Amino acid sequence: MEPSLTPNEEFLVTVNDPNSSQDSAEQHVLAVSETVLATTSMSQEELPGSLVFYLLIMFCNTSLITVIAMNKNLYEPMYIFVCNLCLNGLCGSTAIFPKLMADIISEAKVISQAECLIQMLFEIIFSTNELSLLTVMAYDRYVSICNPLRYVSLVTKRKICTLLILPWLYSFCFAISLIFQVFRLPLCSKFIADISCNFQAYIKLSCTDVSVSNMYETSISIIHAFTLMAVIVYSYVQIFKVCYRASKRAKSKALNTCMTHFLLLFVHLFAGLLGFYQVRTGGGTVDFVHFFVSLSFFMTPPLFNPLIYGIRTQEIRKTIQKVITNRTLCPFLRIKKG
């Protein structure tokens, strides 16, 4: 067994190259003056795709946030919640992609312990916050459709602030509790068989029994997911009951709004289940399937959330079309006027 690694202790870090066979894997040896964890090396063939996806995520989310922020007609609770969903997507993707692309380019595919824990912190905040915000949006739709006359009195500015702060606060506290657990673990290994620092990959480096930490993280994650899903299911059962008794026009409008949220929820659950399975069953090497599945949770919801809302929400779609039309026609109008 390797000796426990302590901060500020110089040692050698080896990184296996997945492009070679497991028996004759090429190794890069690095002398490091602090606690360093090695991330699995990737082929440079993944760089263009990673860069394109990250730029698309940044563009789509920042564009939607800008459109909502610059138009007072969209200053409504639902669009404020959408903005927070986009901010969360930026948080999650930025925690992964910049470091990932740097590792792809660089031969020194290493990460310090501090950087690893910071990356883990933002990953946990993103993954925990995503479903929390979707639950808040489901509650907003429930009140809007089931209690339309009381909507203004129920969804006040104070309640909106509370509904925005609570998911972020809960996600941060949960992340800090996990970081506190792993920070004290003595490490006997220095190779992370994944594309990023996640909780499950990190605790596998420990010399000690981590079953309690593993059980804590898994149980809290499952309770969190099932509790929020129960709230979402209850909200939509009540919505469908109201829609069943409503007029055809009201039913169509309500179901169209709910369908947008359902699509977001489906994308989140699909990517989340893939990620949940991957971090608990991932092997020691990274092939394309491992690479894609590991990235899916930090790639698909942040990319599809703004696209789905931008395309399916009529008010946002009209505002975007208006902005594009004005920017396209204004130069010609100025020339004609001159």
72 near 104, Cβ under 8 Å?
A: no
Residue 21 lies in a domain: no
Q: Is residue 199 part of a domain?
A: no
Contact 311, 333 (CB under 8 A): no
Structure confidence at residue 280 as a pLDDT band (50, 70, 90): low
Provide the residue range defining the domain that includes 78: 45-98+116-185+217-337
Would you state the torsion angle of the CA atoms of residues 147, 148, 150, 153, taken in this order, to the nearest 10 degrees? 120
> Strand pairing partners for 261?
none
Domain count, the chain: 1
Q: Give a yes or no: residue 277 inside a domain.
A: yes
Q: Is residue 318 part of a domain?
A: yes
Evaluate whether residue 40 is within a structural domain.
no
Mean pLDDT of 3-7: 45
Domain-located, residue 27: no
39, pLDDT greater than 60: no
For 149-197, the pLDDT digits (tens) are: 888 888 889 999 999 999 999 999 999 999 998 888 887 877 777 778 8
The answer to whether the CB of 62 falls within 8 A of the CB of 141 is no
Nearest Cα to Cα of residue 269 among 146, 153, 167, 134: 134
- Strand runs (DSSP E) across the chain, as ranges? 11-16, 27-32, 36-39, 110-112, 191-192
The answer as to whether 36 is a domain residue is no
CB atoms within 10 A of CB 277: 11
Q: How many CB atoms lie within 10 A of CB 149?
A: 7
Residue type, 190: K
Name the band, by pLDDT with cuts 50, 70 and 90, for residue 244: confident
66 is a domain residue: yes
| Contact criterion met (CB below 8 Å) for 130 and 174 | no
Kindly report the pTM of this predicted structure.
0.80
Is the pLDDT assigned to residue 140 strictly greater than 60?
yes
List C-alpha distances in Å: 245 to 232, 238, 251, 260: 21, 11, 8, 21
**CATH assignment of the domain containing 54:** 1.20.1070.10
Token pair belonging to 35:
């606690």
